[in-house]
C-alpha cells in the first residue's frame, strides 16, 4: 500500500475584501439580513484559540501540528473585549446562539471572563443567548463548575470511543478516556446540559465503538451524535473510503436498539434525530435519543444559518470556506463605529451564497470549494 503524503501547509489564508459600507446609515440595518439563498443569520461560532492539547488525525494531525508549528501570536488573537463587542453586533443582526470553539477553547486563559461577558448579552427582545461550548473534555472535570458559574448554559464533548486503547490512539497524545468521562460527569453535576457527545466515525478506525457508545449513553439524558468523517481543510488526509455513511450507522444501531425518527429540534439543525423506541415502537423520552450528522453523504446547506469567527477575527461563511473577511481591522480602527461593523456584517451576509455540501453531493469532493485551499477545522471550529 502506498504511503499517504500530507502536505505541510499553513492554515491561514489571505482575507477577502470587506464590502464598502457607509458609516451612520442605520436605516440600512432593517430588516435583519438574509443571505443570497434567503437564509437568516442566527448562529455564531467563535473560535477562541487555535491551540489544542489533542492531535486527532481528522483535525490536527501530529505530522503537521508538531512542536515546531507556528501558532498565532497572542497579539493576533481577539481580546475578550473585542469578542464581546463583535458578538454584540451579531446579536443585533439576528444571532441567538453563540458557541465557543477552538482548537480546544478551555486552553484559553481565563475563558470564564469571556463567558460572563457573553452571558450578559441580550437579544433585541430581551432574551438571553443560547450560550454553549464545544470541548474535548480533557479539562472539563476541573472547570465545569466555574464555567457554569460564569453563565455557560451547556457543553458538547467530543468523544470518539469508549475503548481506552482506541481513544488514546485517536487523540494521539495517549490521553485516557476515563478523564473525559469524568469531565462529562462533572458537567452533569454542574447542570451544564443538556449535554451532547459528538463521535466522529472513521471507517476502519472506530466504527466498532458505535454500539458500545450508544449502550453507554442510552437513558442518561446525554445526546450522542455520530458525525461522518469530513473533508475539512487539507491536513487530515481525508479519503472517501474512510467515511461511514450515517445511514449505515442507523442500520447498525437498529440491529440492537430500535429507533424512531424525530422532528428537527430547531431550524438549521445539522443533526438528524432518532429516538430510542419502547416495546410499542414509540419514542421513549426516558431512553433519550441519538443524532447523525451526515456532513458528507447528505447536504444540509438549505437552511444553514451559521457563521464562524476565527480566533484572529476573520469571518467565515461556511465550514468548507477557503477565505474569510477580516473584521479585526475594523474592531481595532478607532474611527469605525458599531454601526459600521453592523452594516459590514449585513453586507457580508447578504452576499453569501455558500452551499459547498450541496454542490459536492452533485459534483463530488474538492470540485465546489472555490479558489484556494479550504480552512482547517482547528482554526474555526467544527
Residue 380 near residue 103, CB atoms below 8 Å: no
Average pLDDT over residues 303-331: 91
Q: Are 261 and 283 within 8 A, CB to CB? A: no
- 374 and 233 Cβ atoms separated by less than 8 Å: yes
**Beta partners for residue 223, in sequence order:** 196
**In this predicted model, which residue has the larger pLDDT, 91 or 19?**
91
Hey, which bits of the chain come out as E strands?
43-47, 97-101, 130-135, 154-158, 196-201, 223-228, 259-261, 272-276, 289-293, 306-309, 314-316, 325-326
pLDDT band at 39 (very low <50, low <70, confident <90, very high): very high
| Burial zone of 290 (CB within 10 Å; 0-12 exposed, 13-18 middle, 19+ buried) | buried
- Determine the 3-state secondary structure of 340 from DSSP: helix
Q: Give the CA distances from residue 374 to residues 122, 293, 309, 368, 369, in Å, rounded to whole numbers and listed in that order.
A: 34, 20, 15, 11, 7
Check whether the bond before 254 is cis (ω within 30° of 0). no
The sign of the CA dihedral 272, 309, 202, 211 is: negative
48-107 pLDDT per residue, tens: 999 999 998 888 889 889 989 999 999 999 999 999 999 999 999 999 999 999 999 999
* CB-count burial class (<10 Å; 0-12, 13-18, 19+) for 318: buried
- Indicate if the pLDDT at residue 10 is higher than 60: no
Distance of CA 131 to the CA centre of its chain: 13
What pLDDT is attached to residue 78?
A: 97
| pLDDT band for position 298 (cuts 50, 70, 90) | confident
pLDDT above 90 coverage of the chain, percent? 69
Read off the pLDDT band of 315 (50, 70, 90). very high
pLDDT at 4: 39
Among 5-9, 130-134, 164-168, 227-231, the minimum mean pLDDT is found in 5-9
pLDDT of residue 251: 96
pLDDT in tens, 111-146: 999 999 999 999 999 999 999 999 999 999 999 999
Q: Report the distance separating Cα 86 and Cα 108, nearest Å.
A: 18
Which domains can be identified in the chain, with CATH numbers?
45-380 (3.20.20.70)
Highest mean pLDDT among 20-29, 220-229, 265-274, 373-382: 220-229
Is the per-residue pLDDT at 340 higher than 60?
A: yes
Show Cβ contacts of residue 210 under 8 Å, excluding neighbours closer than 6 positions.
Answer: 199, 201, 226, 249, 252, 253
DSSP state of 120: T
With cell 484572529, the residue in question is 312
Amino acid at each position: 500500500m502506498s504511503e499517504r503524503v500530507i502536505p505541510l501547509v499553513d492554515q491561514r489564508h489571505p482575507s477577502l475584501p470587506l464590502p464598502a459600507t457607509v458609516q451612520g446609515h442605520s436605516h440600512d440595518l432593517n430588516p435583519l439580513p438574509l443571505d443570497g439563498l434567503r437564509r437568516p443569520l442566527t448562529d455564531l461560532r467563535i473560535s477562541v484559540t487555535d491551540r489544542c492539547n489533542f492531535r486527532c488525525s481528522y483535525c490536527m494531525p501530529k505530522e503537521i501540528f508538531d512542536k515546531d508549528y507556528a501558532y498565532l501570536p497572542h497579539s493576533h488573537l481577539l481580546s475578550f473585549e473585542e469578542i464581546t463587542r463583535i458578538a454584540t453586533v451579531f446579536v443585533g443582526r439576528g444571532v441567538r446562539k453563540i458557541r465557543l470553539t477552538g482548537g480546544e477553547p478551555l486552553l484559553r486563559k481565563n475563558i470564564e471572563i469571556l463567558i460572563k461577558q457573553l452571558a450578559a448579552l441580550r437579544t433585541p427582545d430581551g432574551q438571553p443567548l443560547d450560550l454553549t461550548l464545544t470541548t474535548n473534555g480533557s479539562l472539563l472535570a476541573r472547570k465545569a463548575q466555574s464555567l457554569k458559574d460564569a453563565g455557560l448554559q451547556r457543553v458538547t464533548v467530543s468523544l470518539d470511543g469508549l475503548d481506552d486503547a482506541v481513544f488514546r490512539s485517536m487523540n494521539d497524545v495517549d490521553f485516557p478516556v476515563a478523564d473525559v468521562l469524568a469531565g462529562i460527569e462533572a458537567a452533569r453535576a454542574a447542570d451544564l446540559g443538556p449535554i451532547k457527545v459528538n463521535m466522529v466515525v472513521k471507517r476502519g478506525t472506530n466504527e466498532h465503538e458505535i454500539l458500545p457508545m450508544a449502550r453507554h449513553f442510552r437513558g442518561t439524558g446525554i445526546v450522542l451524535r455520530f458525525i461522518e468523517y469530513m473533508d475539512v481543510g487539507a491536513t487530515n488526509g481525508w479519503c472517501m473510503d474512510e467515511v461511514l455513511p450515517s445511514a449505515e450507522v442507523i442500520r447498525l444501531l437498529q440491529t440492537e436498539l430500535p429507533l424512531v425518527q424525530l422532528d428537527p429540534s430547531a431550524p438549521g439543525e445539522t443533526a438528524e434525530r432518532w429516538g430510542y423506541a419502547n416495546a410499542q415502537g414509540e419514542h421513549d423520552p426516558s431512553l433519550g435519543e441519538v443524532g447523525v450528522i451526515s456532513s458528507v453523504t447528505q447536504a444540509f446547506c438549505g437552511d444553514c444559518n451559521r457563521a464562524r469567527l476565527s480566533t484572529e477575527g476573520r469571518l467565515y461563511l461556511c465550514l468548507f470556506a477557503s477565505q474569510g473577511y477580516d473584521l479585526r481591522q475594523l474592531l481595532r480602527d478607532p474611527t469605525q463605529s458599531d454601526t459600521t461593523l453592523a452594516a459590514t456584517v449585513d453586507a457580508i451576509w447578504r452576499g453569501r451564497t455558500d452551499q459547498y455540501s450541496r454542490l459536492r453531493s452533485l459534483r463530488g469532493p474538492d470540485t465546489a470549494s472555490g479558489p484556494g485551499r479550504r480552512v482547517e477545522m482547528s482554526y474555526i471550529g467544527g
